[in-house]
Amino acid sequence: MKASSTIKLVVPGVAALVGCLTLRDTLSPSPAIADARSIGASQRAEKKSFTDSQIIDGFLKTAFGAEYHLAGRVDRIRKYQMPVRVFVDGSIRADRHKQIGKVVRDIAARIQHLDIAVANERDHANIIITLVRDRDLQKTISSFYGPEKAKEIHDSLDPQCLSGFRKNENYEIQGSDVILTVDNGDFVFLDCAYEELLQSLGPINDTDTVPWTMFNDQVSMGYFGVYDQYILNILYDPRIKAGMTVDEVRAVLPSVLPDVRAWVAKINDLPK
């Protein structure tokens, strides 16, 4: 079980930039749950068949809005309109660096129109992942967002990982920051890595009314499930533009969804 929140705030001193923090507190699983084999078993057992209305409902609930917002409009599509490069900052736990590389490659393989890859240099990246030990998380949050906001985050929800992004006046994401703790077990690390990376791409609103998405407080997965592949492939279809309203998205979904269905079926070997 997990608890998560999404907070929107204006980044101090930078006009027209909005940061979105996704916070999460995941109870440490038992060793059996944490084992990578349990993730594989969950993938094999996951629900993979959804109606159009189920997919559209989840997309609209996660791509629009924000669980908490302090500034900026949240009634528009937010996404990268440029190639995404991910840099991992932090010299601890080389095994976690390798796991992130696999996560990024998996995301790249499953989102058709997203150009995402690991960058070897920080200056070439627009998503920065900072790896920290759990004991240093609060100090790191404070260095990112200031002591007052860090205390608010801690008091509201003691997180194990978080992410945020900055967007311009056209709702195009310009950069993202992800903070992951390395020492809470493999399951928690992978669950956090997938959710925070995917939410840093745009779908920042958590929902407790959709049981198949990792963007649900009650769902922990540790992998990129079929349902969330539908959500991210709709978001990154070229016909879905940053800044679109709900009505504008609804107008193009009838042409977008069949193509997304065909792609997700192909890469997951699903019946057509």
Instruction: Note the pLDDT tens digit of each residue in 170-209.
Output: 999 999 999 999 988 888 899 999 999 999 999 987 777 8
Backbone torsion region of residue 226, taken as left when φ is above 0, otherwise alpha when ψ lies between -120 and 50, otherwise beta: alpha
Q: What would the pLDDT profile of 103-157 be if each residue is shown by its tens digit?
A: 999 999 999 999 999 999 999 999 999 999 989 888 988 888 888 887 877 777 6
Query: Would you kindly state where each structural domain of the chain is located, as residue ranges?
Result: 2-267
Q: For residue 51, what pLDDT is reported?
A: 95
Q: How far, CA to CA in Å, does 166 sit from each of 72, 188, 271?
A: 11, 26, 39
CATH number of 2-267: 3.40.390.10
| 116 C-beta neighbours (distance < 10 Å), count | 20
* Cα of 216 vs its chain's centroid, Å: 12
Lowest mean pLDDT among 74-78, 195-199, 256-260: 74-78
List, as one string, the DSSP characters of 215-269. Answer: SSTT---SS--HHHHHHHHHHTSTTS-TT--HHHHHHHHHHHHHHHHHHHHHHHT
Task: Count the alpha carbons within 13 Å of 184 in the hemisphere toward its beta carbon.
Answer: 25
pLDDT tens-place string over residues 38-57: 777 777 778 899 999 999 99
Distances (CA, A) of 112 to 109, 237, 259, 264: 7, 8, 10, 9
* Single-letter code of the amino acid located at 19: G
Residue 22's pLDDT band (cuts 50, 70, 90) = low
Which of these ranges, 85-99, 174-188, 204-218, has the smallest mean pLDDT? 204-218
Determine the pLDDT at residue 33. Answer: 47
**Spatial separation of the C-alpha atoms in residues 71 and 7, rounded to whole Å:** 9
Q: Nearest 10 degrees: CA dihedral of 80, 85, 91, 92?
A: 60
Tell me: pLDDT of 8 over 60. Answer: no
How much is the pLDDT for 70? 42
Q: What is the mean pLDDT of residues 88-101?
A: 91
Asked if residue 249 lies in contact with residue 255, where contact means CB atoms within 8 angstroms, the answer is: no
pLDDT number for residue 178: 93
What's the chain's average pLDDT? Answer: 83
pLDDT at 36 over 80: no
Helix 246-268, helix 226-235: angle, nearest 10: 130
> Per-residue pLDDT for 9 more than 50?
no
